Amino acid sequence: MPTETVIHNTPLAGEHAALGAKMVTFGGWNMPLQYAGILAEWEDNRKRCSIFDCSHMGEFIICGDAVACGLDRIVTQTIADMPVLTCRYGVMLNDQGGVIDDCIVYRLTGEAWMMVVNAANIAKDAAHVKAHLSGNTPFRDASFETAKIDVQGPLSRDVLKPLVPGIERLSYYGFEVLDVAGIRCIVSRTGYTGELGYEIYCPWGQAVEIWRRILKDPGVKPTGLGVRDVLRIEMCYSLYGHELEENISPLEAGLDKFIDGNKDFIGKEAVLRQKEAGNHRTVGYFVSGSRKSPRAGHTLYNGQGRAVGTVTSGTFSAGLNAGVGIGFVEKGENVLEKKILFGDDKTKTEGMMTRRPFYKNGSLKK
Amino acid sequence: MSGAVEIIDHYLYTKDHEWINIEDNTGTVGITDYAQNALGDVTYIELPKEGTEVEQFEQFVSVESVKAASDIFSPMSGRVTEVNRALQDDPGLINKDCYEKGWIAKIEITSSEEASSLMTAEDYRNYLTTIEQ
């Protein structure tokens, strides 16, 4: 039977068109790539305040005792001991220890949870989660009724203060149910850009109202997925489809600190086996010696010219005024300040392995 | 979008969105307003060496934007006599002023008859309407 590919629109599609955004298909969604231009939007985010439409991301609502209903086993981090009104980052693994997706879990009440997942993986993740929850656990895929608007940048708290009473109470990785311009929303403070920032989860039908109210502040600029990718690469955050895949383990992806070895989780045996063997490739971070940027798919070569890995993400970093890249390299080659070359058979450019993140002056925790 | 795209009347154009301005036997080459807009912010340019011989429609420059790398093809055959070194420090000149300060290279033209395979401004304007449909 032929399958039809449906491209979804977020509730803000009309707003993006009115603002003249360049649109692109991403993860099955019609999304804004850029408005004023990636470098201008970079400045807006790092120096002032940006607003992003992230309504394409998925939200699941799960009710139950985290351990008894099976939710705790689905995520590599411990969920059961999370305080109410906090968020926690983790990954979901398959039995082979490969990453099905990364996610942020919100503890709404003692026995109610919201799991936020990547847009392209909503259907796959919903099937995986449902398959591993105990039979009678209430599960609701709220992805197509929940819009998500991210407000990020050093001035984001000042921008939201007049519209969101109580916003200043939120601590990093905390959230509350707050009124945003009079509309009840979940407002959290996690951030994916390296800057102070908030995520507003609101009903699909009220996203336009909230978007317009926030954009009334002339200090806020609409911002697309293009610069979001640059910002997250500058922070060395993983992105599904790049540093995370079903054939990549969280150890390879450098997510060791998000794996709780003291509890049971799907894929644990495979991860422990890999850890014991200790010969796996690891993710590394490198800076180009020039403005020339590495690109996903480029080969990485060591100083002797031997192919030792592959680039998974690369871009031009306005913060460093140089190309920056993330990639997987053979064990033994991921050494700080070691020379590395990136490119293909025709052209190779010199770079140097470095410490994460590339961008160090963000306002994330201020 | 075509209404907003700037096109210079007396330049000639390629299907890959390069322009050439021929004066005497020298052609100044760059990329069009349409191309710079499609690329987005240009962050790096790999210029050819002066003296390089190029064939018509052969790749001779590489331009990178934040998003991706793109090849630029020479509109005509010739020898590169000069490159715009200002682009090395400020590749964004291509975005700001693609027809003047953002020129890429000058070539001494070897086959002037090749100009007949290029588009006039009017042809290029019509061509843009076809690719945007």
> DSSP per residue over A163-208, as a string?
TSTTGGGPPTTBEEEEEETTEEEEEE---SSSSSEEEEEEEGGGHH
* B41 contact A CB<8A: yes
Q: Which of A296, A361, A291, A348 is nearest to A326 (CA)?
A: A296
Pairwise CA distance, residues A106 & A179, whole Å: 18
List the single residue in B66, B69, B95 with the smallest CB-CB distance to A230: B66
Mark which residues 79-118 of B lie under 8 Å from A by CB: 91-92, 95
| pLDDT of A75 | 98
| pLDDT of A2 | 56
Chain segment B72-99, per-residue pLDDT in tens: 999 999 999 999 999 999 999 999 999 9
* A355 contact B CB<8A: no
Question: What DSSP line would sit under A121-154, residue for residue?
Answer: GHHHHHHHHHHHS-TT--EEE-TTTEEEEEEEST
Reduced to 3 states (helix: H, G, I; strand: E, B; else coil), residue A213 is helix
| pLDDT of A3 | 59
Burial class, A197, CB count within 10 angstroms (exposed 0-12 / middle 13-18 / buried 19+): buried
Q: In chain B, what residues touch A37 (CB-CB under 8 Å)? A: 40-41, 95
Is B44 in contact with A292 (Cβ distance < 8 A)?
yes
Is A291 in contact with B66 (Cβ distance < 8 A)?
no
| pLDDT of A366 | 87
Task: Provide the ipTM.
Answer: 0.86
Radius of gyration of chain A (CA): 21
Q: What is the pLDDT along chain A (366 residues), one digit of tens a residue?
A: 555 678 999 999 999 999 999 999 999 999 999 999 999 999 999 999 999 999 999 999 999 999 999 999 999 999 999 999 999 999 999 999 999 999 999 999 999 999 999 999 999 999 999 999 999 999 999 999 999 999 999 999 999 999 999 999 999 999 999 999 999 999 999 989 999 999 999 999 999 999 999 999 999 999 999 999 999 999 999 999 999 999 999 999 999 999 999 999 999 999 999 999 999 999 999 999 999 999 999 999 999 999 999 999 999 999 999 999 999 999 999 999 999 999 998 899 999 999 999 999 899 988
Number of alpha carbons in the 13 Å side-chain half-sphere of residue A122: 18
Low-confidence ranges of chain B (pLDDT < 50): 1-2
